[in-house]
Chains A and B, each alone.
Chain A
């Protein structure tokens, strides 16, 4: 005990300076990312907002910037997302259920599958484009059509859907499984009536976030041959198609300044779509968030 009557001393000046400096550094790191995003938004909005109109959304791409719009790329993107969701979610949830509920972790092949899925999630998207081109477009002879694009993107997001679904399924506590099984439910009844319904919010959130990764993918679609100028909506799975990121890419490469403004307007639409999906995912997560 000091003579001044203080039992516990204050932090030394050096400790306090170090603490503040570190905190400042962390805030700076945060600002770098955040400010960049804000600047990007402002820049794009400044260029594109003027071009944004119902005519822009409802018109087809055209060689004259004044009459060009994004109807077919927008419809293409929406159709792609619907198809990817239809393919990726059932397969992804099925794979996740197998790995979480059935697979015996002691078997080497189950561990190999797990590691493989982790790695697949990190494979660059262009590699999926090559796979789509070689296997779907040429190997299976699908051609450069909507179905080939949707399947390529499905392969791309499948590992993410599987990982998100596994986490959602794993978050359902074992006490629920035991409770159901102890009542004489079979394994499948337990999964179908207790585990899956309890995991659905998590699966939905993860799947939407996976889709919002697919929505911005350009490289694999260009590689498998989404056509850059499609002045009509896809008529079916076997129809040529384009998508918003491809249209944006195409317009930004044009020499005319006007097209660059159109690209900015299309970026606003794409970002709007993306943020809507993410907001829906967050809403879904908060609405059904459960503490066990």
Chain B
């Protein structure tokens, strides 16, 4: 089992001594300062965020800091609200009329949900890659050029397109067929095109909502290599249900767990947030341990 492989990895650098397991019902949220973010500046400071749909809460009590130039993974079983949470960072939840977001998310100290913050402006800085590759039904070139055009980015468009495709490690494969429809690319290429499209508007943060769930292992590993490459220039938040992926690419991992309320309703919350190494080798929380060893979820 791959998890065991990780457990045996020589990279175990645990400085904290393991704490005794806490009762699983207790909400355990790591406060800033509890775990060093690899000495990273926080780019997002999430404070007591909750999201509800039609007054049915989906996630609640989310508090965590997300580090600058780090890959932060949100993992957890289905229904734990990890996709709901990641959509708070670029205000995609605004598109769902019934969704309501409480609490605050500070981005470089400014509340993204504060008065006078235009979600369109937020999305220019905080890009997103989706679960299923969603290229526009246009040429490869126009897919990349769309973002820079709508935000009125100055500069030579050919250069912008080339730069974005190079950064997404797609340039050599498509440079001779930029006018071809993006739908003719393979799934993995389409997803890298979506990443290139996102990079073209020069965002600060890239949100990835299960970016590899529709891809085969080879395409997945190329995206993972790309993420590690992009980490130098961007902060990345990734939602994944693939624990090995979180272990391979992320610096920090937040584990979300659904909690059953009122019969069928489940509300997600964070049970543990720590350096990825620690989460996968020596988690504090019993539910985290059960989840990463495959006993639940």
Contact = CB atoms under 8 A, between A and B. Distances in A.
Interface string A228-245: 000000000000000000
A75 B132 CA distance: 51
A186 B95 CA distance: 12
Interface stretch (A24-32, A42-50, A173-181, A263-271): A173-181
Given A184-B120, A184-B151, A178 B92 contact: yes
B134 A184 contact: no
Nearest to B119: A181
A197 B138 CA distance: 10
A186 B137 CA distance: 19
B123 A183 contact: yes
Contacts of B151: 183-185
A120 B137 CA distance: 34
B147 interface: yes
A21 B248 CA distance: 63
A183 B134 contact: no
Interface string B239-266: 0000000000000000000000000000
B197 A183 contact: yes
Contact of A181 (B123, B132, B201): B123
A179 B150 contact: no
A111 interface: no
Interface residues of A, number: 21
A6 interface: no
A182 B150 contact: no
A111 to B, nearest CB: 14
Contacts of A173: 134
A183 B97 contact: no
Given A181-B123, A182-B90, A184-B121, A189 B130 contact: no
B127 A179 contact: no
A155 interface: no
Interface in A159-175: 173, 175
Given A179-B194, A181-B95, A183-B198, A193 B147 contact: no
A185 B146 contact: yes
Contacts of A175: 130, 132, 134
B136 interface: yes
Given A178-B92, A179-B194, A184 B124 contact: yes
A104 interface: yes
Given A178-B134, A194-B136, A184 B150 contact: yes
A98 B37 CA distance: 47
Chain B interface residue number, banded: 20 to 34
Nearest to B137: A198
Interface in B136-179: 136-138, 146-147, 150-151
A179 B201 contact: no
A287 interface: no
Nearest to B151: A184
Contact of A183 (B95, B127, B135, B138): B127
Contacts of A198: 136-137
B97 A106 contact: yes
A104 B150 contact: no
Nearest to B118: A186
Contact of A184 (B95, B123, B132): B123
A136 B37 CA distance: 72
A194 B135 CA distance: 11
A184 B147 contact: yes
A183 B146 contact: yes
B146 A186 contact: no
B270 interface: no
B128 A185 contact: no
A236 B157 CA distance: 47
B137 A290 contact: yes
A183 B145 CA distance: 11
A168 to B, nearest CB: 13
B97 A104 contact: yes
B146 A193 contact: yes
A180 B127 CA distance: 11
B249 to A, nearest CB: 21
A185 B150 contact: yes
Interface string A184-209: 11100100011001100000000000
Interface string B109-127: 0000000000011011001
Interface in B193-240: 194, 197-198, 201
B137 A183 contact: no
Given A178-B134, A182-B198, A183-B147, 7 more contacts: A180-B150, A181-B92, A182-B128, A183-B201, A185-B120, A185-B146, A198-B137
Interface of A: 104, 106, 173, 175-186, 189, 193-194, 197-198, 290
18 contacts: A104-B97, A106-B97, A175-B134, A176-B136, A177-B95, A178-B92, A178-B134, A179-B130, A179-B194, A181-B120, A182-B92, A182-B123, A182-B128, A184-B147, A185-B146, A185-B151, A198-B137, A290-B137
